[in-house]
Amino acid sequence: QSALTQPRSVSGSPGQSVTISCTGTSSDVGGYNFVSWSQQHPGKAPKVMIYDVSKRPSGVPDRFSGSKSGNTASLTISGLQAEDEADYYCSSYAGSYTWVFGGGTKLTVL
Amino acid sequence: QVHLVESGGGVVQPGRSLRLSCAASGFSFSSDSMHWVRQAPGLGLEWVAFISHDGNNKYHADSVKGRFTISRDNSKNTLSLQMDSLRPEDTAVYYCVKDRGGSWTFDFWGQGTLVTVSS
């Protein structure tokens, strides 16, 4: 199973919007609507922010949104806040009871 | 609320074995599939293994197939990972992760336990 491709880092100023991409193949991201995004602060466990491409778990601010086009999924964070600074990982079901993650993107709030 | 607590990590020599456990509470453990996911120091996440709610279906990543075995005891609300023939590249924080159910995505993550394979 190959990792999904994410940018190493993105940045934005408070109040701005940023988008993180996650590129896979037709065997994972493009083949299933089972993409999720997890946020991880340093030394902490990941927390799911988006699942099923665009759904938000209870308690996640609506500033976080997800989408997908073809083999690429995206996470958009609007109205950036300092506490959004973290690592973000995408993941996708890849068929035959296997899952694949992206390499992670470090978000810096300037 | 959902609570997942991993244990069993530590330092182990290459070629030896280790067994990780995950104590689950706050949800109907026997109704949910579970995963193990690991994160090598300073690196990204890697899916390791999946087990169905009743334990009848188990799947492992190619990188651990034949060496690691996922299992569960629904009477004790416990998930386990038996790790044999450990290699230095297995060094990582191992997370117990609840499956979302009805969706092939992850739901809730435990805090993780560190496994270090070194001589």
- The pLDDT assigned to B42 comes to 86
Q: How many CA atoms lie within 13 A of A18 on its CB side?
A: 21
To the nearest whole Å, the CA of B110 is away from the closest chain A CA by 7
Tokens at residue A105, please? Answer: 């993107």
Across the interface, which of B61, B110, B111 has its CB nearest the CB of A1?
Answer: B61
pLDDT at position B101:
85
CA–CA separation, B76 vs B68, rounded Å? Answer: 21
Which candidate, B80, B45, B85, B41, places its Cα nearest to that of B65? B85
CA nearest B50 in A: which residue? Answer: A97
Least Cα separation, residue A100 to chain B (angstroms): 6
How many whole angstroms separate alpha carbon A109 and alpha carbon A79? 11
B63-102 residue pLDDT tens: 999 999 999 999 999 999 999 999 999 999 999 999 998 8
Shortest CA gap B108–chain A (Å):
7
Interior angle at CA B6, CA A47 and CA B43, nearest 5: 55
B110 near A CB under 8 A? yes
Alpha-carbon distance B97 to B33, whole Å? Answer: 9
- Residue B45, chain A, CB below 8 Å: the answer is yes
Is the CB of residue A28 less than 8 Å from the CB of residue A93?
Answer: yes
Nearest chain B Cα distance for residue A101, angstroms: 6
pLDDT, tens digit only, all 110 positions of chain A: 458 999 999 999 999 999 999 999 999 999 999 999 999 999 899 999 999 999 999 999 999 999 999 999 999 999 999 999 999 999 999 999 999 999 999 999 99
Residue A93 in contact with partner chain B when CB distance is under 8 A: yes
Whether the CB-CB separation of A15 and A80 falls below 8 Å is answered with yes
Q: What is the pLDDT of residue A3?
A: 86
Residue to substitute from A5, A99, A105, interface B, most B β-carbons within 10 A? A99
Considering only alpha carbons, which residue of chain A is nearest residue B107? A48
Taking alpha carbons only, the member of B113, B110, B114 closest to residue B26 is B110
pLDDT of residue A2: 57
Instruction: Give residues with Cβ within 8 angstroms of B43, minimum separation 6.
Output: none
Does B20 touch chain A if contact means CB atoms closer than 8 Å? no
Q: Which two tokens stand for residue A63?
A: 């500033």
* Residue B102: per-residue pLDDT: 82
